[in-house]
Amino acid sequence: MGSRHHQVDGTPAFERACADAERAQALAEQAHIAAPTGPSPDAIARSWELWADYIDPLGTMTRDEFDALPLEDRLAIIAEVGR
pLDDT digits (tens, 9 = 90+) for 49-78: 999 999 999 999 999 999 999 999 999 999
pLDDT at 37: 77
Answer yes or no: do 46 and 63 share one domain: yes
pLDDT in tens, 14-54: 666 666 666 766 666 666 555 557 899 999 999 999 999 99
Cα 44–Cα 49–Cα 54 angle in degrees, nearest 5 = 55
- Regarding pTM above 0.85, the answer is no
Domain count, the chain: 2
Residue type, 55: I
Answer yes or no: do 30 and 48 share one domain: no
| In a domain? residue 26 | yes
| In a domain? residue 61 | yes
Region of 82 on the Ramachandran plot (φ > 0 left; ψ -120 to 50 alpha; else beta):
left
Contacts (Cβ under 8 Å, ≥6 apart) of 41:
75, 78, 79, 83
Distance CA 66, CA 44 (A): 11
Whether the predicted pLDDT of 5 surpasses 50: no
Task: Give the torsion through C-alpha atoms of 33, 34, 39, 40, to 10 deg.
Answer: -70
Owning domain of residue 60: 41-81
Answer yes or no: do 48 and 74 share one domain: yes
